[in-house]
């Protein structure tokens, strides 16, 4: 996107609000302990997610793809006092550590952490969601979207991460994963149920507002 992406990101992080101490801890420990730490939203995207959540003012949030809980806590910053956030992840090995992060946060009583296959868990969570963040298995993004778009009321927002796929969506030759991302983007671009745009934040964030 930019010739010196690292320099741009550093500048953006220096201008936006700082991470709180817990987010700094999660950021540091994710890079120390995880083999793919880049999966974490990180400082700048975390502030983007927090800002969008605060603008929406959601009573109920659904996140698919918890990883180490960084984005979960950023999204939770916009929750109403009586609100709740459901977050789903397939990786049981991280459960104890991530739950520990949630327990240290001001949102401990509001976060419902589910471990298992999202396709199985989503139907067990009743009600609508004012804000949805999809950041999990890219092959299933369209399935998740179709499962949830009718459970988002008018004015609610759905977000899907990694829709620029490391810039591969601009290349002439697309591998299978890139083709799946392109298919998703093309389908969403034609969906008249939502207003939509892609923010070129990190790996591309699709933001869709329900009409």
Q: How far apart, in Å, do the first and last CA atoms of the chain sit?
A: 30
- Domain membership of residue 72 as a residue range: 5-210
pLDDT tens per residue across span 76-116:
999 999 999 999 999 999 999 999 999 999 999 999 999 99
Question: Which two structure tokens, joined as six digits, stand for 8?
Answer: 């741009």
pLDDT tens per residue across span 1-42:
555 778 888 999 999 999 999 999 999 999 999 999 999 999
Q: Is the pLDDT of residue 43 over 90?
A: yes
**Structural domains in the chain (count):** 1
Question: Which two structure tokens, joined as six digits, stand for 122?
Answer: 């989503």
The residue count for the chain: 211
For position 85, which CATH number holds? 3.40.50.150
pLDDT tens per residue across span 126-175:
999 999 999 998 899 999 999 999 999 999 999 999 999 988 888 888 88
Q: Write down the pTM of the prediction.
A: 0.95
Question: Which two structure tokens, joined as six digits, stand for 3?
Answer: 């010739």
Distance (Å, whole) CA 210 – CA 151: 10
């Amino acid at each position: 996107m930019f010739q010196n992406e690292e320099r741009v990101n550093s500048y953006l992080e220096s201008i936006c609000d700082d991470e709180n101490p817990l987010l700094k801890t999660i950021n540091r420990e994710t890079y120390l302990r995880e083999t793919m730490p880049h999966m974490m939203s990180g400082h700048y995207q975390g502030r983007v997610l927090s800002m969008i959540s605060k603008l929406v003012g959601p009573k109920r949030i659904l996140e698919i793809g918890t990883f180490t809980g960084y984005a979960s806590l950023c999204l939770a910053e916009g929750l109403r006092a009586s609100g709740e956030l459901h977050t789903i992840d397939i990786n049981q090995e991280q459960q104890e550590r991530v739950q520990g992060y949630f327990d240290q946060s001001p949102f401990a009583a509001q976060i419902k952490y589910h471990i298992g296959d999202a396709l199985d868990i989503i139907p067990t969570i009743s009600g609508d969601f004012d804000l949805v963040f999809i950041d999990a298995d890219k092959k299933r993004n369209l399935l998740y979207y179709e499962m949830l778009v009718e459970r988002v009321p008018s004015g609610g927002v759905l977000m899907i991460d990694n829709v620029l796929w490391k810039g591969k969506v601009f290349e002439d030759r697309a591998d299978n994963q890139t083709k799946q991302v392109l298919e998703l983007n093309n389908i969403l671009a034609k969906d008249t149920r939502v207003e939509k745009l892609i923010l070129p934040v990190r790996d591309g964030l699709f933001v869709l507002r329900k009409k």
